[in-house]
Amino acid sequence: MDTKTSKQTLTDVQLLLLLAAARLLFHVLTNNQYGFHRDALAFLDNGQHLAWGYVAYPPLTPFVGRVGLELFGLSLVGIKSLAALAQCVAMVFAGLMAKELGGGRGAQVVTAVAAGISLMSLLMSTLFQYISFDYLWWVLAMYAFIRLLKSGNPRWWLGLGAVFGLGMMTKYTIVFLITAVVLTVLFFPQLRAHLKSPWLWGGVGLSLLIFLPNLIWQVQNNLVSLEFLTAIRARDVALGRTEGYLAQQLYVNLNPITVPLFLLGVYFYLGSGNGRFRPVVWIYLITLVLFGLSQGRFYYLAPAYPMLLAGGAVAGERWLAGQPAKRQQRWSWMTAGLLAVGAAMGVALALPVAPVNSAWWDVTSDIHDNFVEQIGWQEMAENVATIYAQQAPHYAKLGILAGNYGEAAALNLYGADYGLPTAVSPVNSFWQRGYGTPAPDAVIVLGFSESFLRGYFGQCTVVGQNRNSFAVANEESEFSPDIFLCEEVLEPWEQLWPKLRSFG
């Protein structure tokens, strides 16, 4: 490569980094509204109990949460910036995919922006959850796969193996991508030849080595995550959360504005010259079918779209290169305008910028519940602290029992400032940590109905209400909002605790 080309390539990368930095700054400026989502609170609380596995997920995201707490404390902007950073890095590598497919600077920028304005990518930049990091691993994996297809260099299997290992330590659904890659290798002769390469098997070994600590934890805990995933899948299907799987690929996993670019990407890969990059679209189709057959949630497939947008951008750039100069200019301006419209729409619907209880807020709340579930957590801790201060002097040990992981995590993260003891919960990894020693002789209970509690306690009295100052309707304010003081446990805690166990 000559000096001029090197300089041009470096400039393209710098431009992608500049776009990502601008996006990160925008998230830093806007992520200070509302509060943490219940899932984020659970990840952060689990990060206070570092382990090689948890009932609901692998260990990497809680570990990142622990790092975030050490760096920023319980800062909305600080913690959420880690999720936003993962999305911004993914945006850069989406642009680099277009480069590896033969795209120039225009195709790289269009790909990065198109990937960055998908509603799921924007949402994942505002929520500290494992999906944010899972997205990054998928993008990095497909970047390495495209490099492998382009160069034929088997050393890229090591990169794939490392990313797959990190992915399995983040979210188990990456096994669907791994399955698609395996099937594609077996189907395409150009890839099947790699089965004889030590680099492929080295990549397999590396991925297993990275995943091994969690695998050992699973074996030691009777594969509890399989039990959890089975229960959660049944719940999601029963509640209808898996409906609309195909439609939501187009207007949530993508931005509606970028759907034509996605379709052009499918065309690009299916007709990619000598078929060198054709395995990419088959990986997408296989994962699309696998998630559909298993009744997975629509957003599980969100990380697969940057590679298709990259193909679409390259195909569009090549077509445009053959057009007259004036037409090129018109199409370039139109593309920029449409991406700007898509970005504005994505920001309005997926970022925490709408004033609470405004008409704008109502629109976002009708589309998704991510923001309403961020309201009221600290108020809940303050409310429980007031009740605890009033009741604690009457008992040798007054405990706090929470019905879901969000409540338990919020009370543990915020409650220390109010002198609250550690809250316990029968959900997921909270159940594994137990009810404390010695067992409480009375508990403040939230998140359960009175009829449910009657089966376990002789006396339960309403001592408060779980509300928020914005009067936002969410799970805490609508589902079993009463706060109880429960006494006279009907059987010893060591017998009661296994009966309370649940997944959520």
| DSSP helix/strand/coil, 126 | coil
Looking at the fold, whether 313 and 461 belong to one and the same domain comes out as: no
Q: What is the pLDDT of residue 479?
A: 87
**Are 100 and 173 in the same domain?**
yes
Do 325 and 393 reside in the same domain of the chain? no
Q: Are residues 99 and 237 in the same domain?
A: yes
**Contact at 8 Å (CB) between 446 and 452?**
no
> Exposed/middle/buried for 368, CB within 10 Å: 0-12, 13-18, 19+?
middle
Sign of the CA dihedral with 447 first, then 452, 454, and 456 last? negative
Per-residue pLDDT of the chain (504 residues; tens, 9 = 90+): 344 444 455 689 999 999 999 999 999 999 999 999 999 999 999 999 999 999 999 999 999 999 999 999 999 999 999 999 999 999 999 999 999 999 999 999 999 999 999 999 999 999 999 999 999 999 999 999 999 999 999 999 999 999 999 999 999 999 999 999 999 999 999 999 999 999 999 999 999 999 999 999 999 999 999 999 999 999 999 988 889 999 999 999 999 999 999 999 999 999 865 689 999 999 999 999 999 999 999 999 999 999 999 999 999 999 999 999 999 999 999 999 999 999 999 999 999 999 999 999 999 999 999 999 999 999 999 999 999 999 999 999 999 999 999 999 999 999 999 999 999 999 999 999 999 999 999 999 999 999 999 999 999 999 999 999 999 999 999 988 999 999 999 999 999 999 999 999
Q: What angle separates helix 325-350 from helix 105-116, to the nearest 10 degrees?
A: 20
Do 338 and 395 share a domain, yes or no?
no
pLDDT for 4 equals 45
- Contact (CB, 8 A) for 306 and 146: no
Same domain, 479 and 402: yes
Which residues, 6+ apart, have CB-to-CB distance to 438 below 8 Å?
397
At 22, phi and psi to the nearest 5?
-65, -40
Across 103-137, b (16+ Cβ under 10 Å) vs e yields bbbbbbbbbbbbbbbbbbbbbbbbbbbbbbbbbbb
Task: State whether 336 and 385 are in the same domain.
Answer: no
Task: Give me the numbers of helices (H) and strands (E) for the chain, helices first please.
Answer: 24, 4
By DSSP bridging, strand 457-465 and strand 442-446 are unpaired
Domain boundary among 350, 383, 406: 350
Indicate whether 307 and 172 sit together in one domain.
Answer: yes
Query: What's the pTM?
Result: 0.94
**299 and 398 share a domain?**
no
Q: Determine the Cα–Cα distance for residues 189 and 361; give it in Å rounded to an integer.
A: 52
- Alpha helices by DSSP H, 244-321: 245-248, 259-270, 278-293, 305-321
Is residue 361, in this structure, part of any structural domain at all?
no
In a domain, 365, yes or no: no
Question: Is 357 among the domain residues?
Answer: no
Domain stop point among 350, 365, 399: 350
Helix boundaries (H) for 421-481 = 428-433, 450-453, 475-478
In the listed set 333, 350, 367, which residue is the last one of a domain according to the structure? 350
Cα separation, 26 vs 149, whole angstroms = 35
What CA–CA distance (Å, rounded) separates 102 from 314?
7
- At residue 6, the pLDDT reads 44
- Based on the domain organization, do 312 and 379 belong to the same domain? no
Which pLDDT does position 272 carry in this prediction?
66
Is 323 found in the same domain as 287? yes
Question: How confident is the model at residue 375, as a pLDDT?
Answer: 96
d(CA 80, CA 29): 11
Question: Is 366 inside any structural domain?
Answer: no
493 is in which domain, residue-wise? 375-500
Gap between the Cα atoms of 139 and 89, Å rounded:
9
SS3 of 399, please? strand
Q: Judge if 295 and 387 occupy the same domain.
A: no
pLDDT on residue 383: 96
Question: Is residue 368 assigned to a domain?
Answer: no
In a domain, 186, yes or no: yes
Q: Is residue 476 part of a domain?
A: yes
Domain count, the chain: 2
Whole-number pLDDT of residue 9:
53
Q: Is residue 187 part of a domain?
A: yes
